[in-house]
Amino acid sequence: MAAIKCILGLLVLFAVSAWTEAMVIVPIIVTSDYLWCLCCFHKLSAGLYQDGFQIQGDIAVPINRNADPCVQRGCKWPKSSDGKVYIPYVIANSYIITTAINSFSASTCIRFIPRTTQTDYINIKSLDGCYSYVGRQGNVQTVSLKSQGCIYFGTVQHELIHALGFNHEQCRSDRDQHIKILLQNVIPGMAYNFDKINTLNQGTPYDYNSVMHYGRLAFSKDNVSPTMVAIPNSNAVFGTATQMSQNDIDRINLLYCSK
């Protein structure tokens, strides 16, 4: 019955809010976290191992990871002499996501380029779910964009922003001033998805419209009870971004593109 409700729910979303972006249909709610919650895909996010790493939420991490912001530990991608940051990638599958990949070049100095012989690069695969490492790991690193469920404009941006070194918005160091986490409604064992991190916020404001923000039902134990509410305005909408917000763009530019 849950699976039927999930399918019907997605059909409704597509029917009332779909739009076309380079031949890709994108629903209003596109972040992988929200769709996983909506369709009970969160079961993939605990205890799953791929290529030697563990999946926690939609972030691939080594076991015993350091929760400090990796950008302060040297996980930024290097800047070229022309001021651009070139990030090589390969795509193991034939699905179309190049529009989202190339979208970074329109508003930032980030350039995702097809890999030739580079040692450090992103390997985009269709594995079990939508997830990425946070920041540059060195050598090949996996970004999973499952062909069924992850090939949405905002979802691709979300995972690639992880690869650039950014965490989820609701994990920001100042999140308690803007969002209240309702752990009593979170699936047992999934509370780590809401851990607060000592993030480098770069003077940018908390952003409910960030493509990196979870939806209110993310990892809800019954898909009805919210796991987060905004404060002080409990009716504020969040987790529905279809693409990077201006704050998302500003943060990338501050971290990578400013001189």
User: Has 162 been labeled as part of a binding site?
Assistant: yes
- Residues composing the chain: 259
The enclosing H or E element of 158 equals: helix 153-164
Query: Residue 16: exposed, middle, or buried by beta-carbon count in 10 A (0-12, 13-18, 19+)?
Result: exposed
CA dist., res. 94 & res. 97, Å (int)? 9
Task: Tell me which of 159, 169, 248, 250 is the catalytic residue.
Answer: 159
Q: 33 is written with which tokens?
A: 């976290």
User: Has 213 been labeled as part of a binding site?
Assistant: no
Q: 248 is written with which tokens?
A: 């998302």
Q: Give the residue among 53, 57, 15 at the shortest CA–CA distance from 36.
A: 57
Q: 151 is written with which tokens?
A: 């090939």
- Is 159 one of the catalytic residues? yes
User: Has 168 been labeled as part of a binding site?
Assistant: yes
Residue 38's contacts (CB-CB under 8 Å, 6 or more residues apart) are 6, 9, 10, 29, 215, 217, 223
CA dist., res. 50 & res. 165, Å (int)? 20
| Binding region for Zn(2+) | 158, 162, 168
Q: Which residues are catalytic?
A: 159
User: Annotated binding site, which residues?
Assistant: 158, 162, 168
